[in-house]
Structure 1
Amino acid sequence: MACGTAFAQQGKLRSGPYQGPVTPMVSPDIPDVGPFYSNLVTDTTCVGGCNYSTANGYFVLGPSNCFSPGATQWISFPFVASRTGAVRQVMLSITDSGFCVATSTKFTVAIYSDSPTCAGVPGTQIGNAVVGTAPAAPCSLANTNFGHAAVSLTAGVTYWVVVTTSTAATQTGTTAVWWMSNYAYAPYNLNDGNGWVAFPDGAPGGFSVN
């Protein structure tokens, strides 16, 4: 995957605040051990708040999306593994945008290494990618099953959660939002299909790697 410049020139497609009805949070299953990484933290200053922010987020767009047809936007965020082991699940604060009627709701999730040649961008995919489905609305999470993806992490090493779309019928019309986490700030990357571009610290998308 080459270092890219195209998206830096085009600008970033942000969603703005969520305006629709909110779905109550569902208690996740409790793993036997703690997560490799998580920034899913409930905002205690907001009654009934999600464990991520619906004030803003970045679009995850398939090429036939209904918000900006013809535009494609992929997102990735880094994390440092807190322990060594195999990934079984990744939970993401990705939902359907609700701004228009999307013809698909699926997307692809993969774990990448940190690039040794391009500073601050994803490197090589580890194991297999999996398909996720954007739920209808916050506060729901997109739960992706990595149980058979053969992704193993090492404590103290930087990795990337990478979310992309494809031209498949189940993904080309996806018009989703990766809502920002509460409180945390970190660097992030955007890709319009022409290469990853690093941006300075901002509120990352909410996710938990388990």
Structure 2
Amino acid sequence: MTDTLERPVDAEPGRMNTRPAWLALFGAIAAFASAALIWICRAGDPSVHYVSQLGATGMPTAPLFNLALLLLAVAAVLVDRATIARGAGYVVGWPVATTLLVCGLCFGVASVITCSPGCPVPFTPGSLVQDFVHISFAVLGFVLAIVAMGQVAALRRRPWMRAASIITLVAVGATSLTGAMIALFKGDTVLGGNLEFTAATLAIAWFGVFGLQVFADHRTARRRAARSHE
């Protein structure tokens, strides 16, 4: 696996395609920008308890929040494209790129089909079809982000990235599960909301960090290819 990761898949004699590296870098920037915009929205309306409520119909924060969600979708797809260019290296069961692509598409749908006012839970009084669609795609995207973390955590290369993925995976899983239980049993909504925002921020930040790792991998492979043809 290590040999595959180190092999420059787009190399020509003395040359290597730099496009995948830049895709990874722009994906990382898009992810960090997404996290920043979500917290700007949260600061603008601290009364909102749950993440998706910021993008609900009629909310002043909706345009900015849905832009943040779209940026996250873009980040996932850009890093996916960059990861594919690494060949068979990022594969655990199936390519990490596949997980990232579907994840990005889910967030893209969630950014376009938003909650109705108040973002009610599906199948509860007042909920609409758009609430079911938005929440389903948002949750699926979030789950796939966790799956991607697990895949990267299983890779033996880059011990620090593996450790970061494991730590993030555990933290996101614990905070999101606790927040879900609080919401399910109608507990402290402030605490539950804070936990949800924490879980979302950690997951989005992971996309950024992983994008930077893929960028660094491409740069390293390019330098080695250049040295080998000197």
Q: State the TM-score, normalized to the length of structure 1.
A: 0.25
- Greater per-residue strand proportion: 1
- Greater per-residue helix proportion: 2
Report 1 or 2 for greater relative contact order, CA contacts < 8 Å, sequence distance ≥ 6: 1
Structure 1 or 2, whichever has the larger Rg, is 2
